Amino acid sequence: MPARARLALAAVGVTAGAVALLSPTPATPARAAAPPAPVVVADTATATAPAPVRVRVPAIGVDSPVPAIGVDGDGALVPPADFTRAGWFAAGPAPGETGPAVLAGHVDDRSGPAVFFRLEELSAGDEVVVDRADGSQVTFTVTRVAAYPKTDFATAEVYGPTADAQLRLITCGGEFDRDRRSYTDNVVVYARLSS
Cα distances (Å, whole numbers) of residue 81 to 7, 70, 151, 174, 178: 12, 12, 24, 21, 21
Contact 77, 89 (CB under 8 A): yes
CATH classification at residue 70: 2.40.260.10
> What's the total number of domains in the chain?
1
Number of Cβ within a 10 Å radius of residue 1: 10
pLDDT in tens, 129-160: 999 999 999 999 999 999 999 888 999 999 99
Q: Is the peptide bond before 79 cis (omega within 30 degrees of 0)?
A: no
Rg of the chain taking only CA atoms, in angstroms: 15
pLDDT for position 33: 31
Q: How far apart are CA 103 and CA 122, in angstroms?
A: 15
Average pLDDT over residues 25-54: 50
Q: Is the pLDDT of residue 189 over 60?
A: yes
Closest Cα partner for 152 from 19, 4, 35?
35
Q: Is the pLDDT of residue 2 over 90?
A: no
pLDDT for position 44: 42
Q: Is the pLDDT of residue 52 over 60?
A: yes
Q: How far apart are CA 163 and CA 140, in angstroms?
A: 15
Q: How far apart are CA 168 and CA 146, in angstroms?
A: 11
pLDDT in tens, 74-124: 888 888 999 999 999 999 999 999 999 999 999 998 899 999 999 999 999
pTM: 0.77
Contact 125, 69 (CB under 8 A): no
Catalytic residue numbers read 106, 172
Percent share of the chain, pLDDT over 70? 75
Mean pLDDT of the chain: 79
Contact 105, 171 (CB under 8 A): yes
Q: What's the domain range around 124?
A: 3-193
Number of Cβ within a 10 Å radius of residue 140: 26
Q: Is the pLDDT of residue 63 over 90?
A: yes
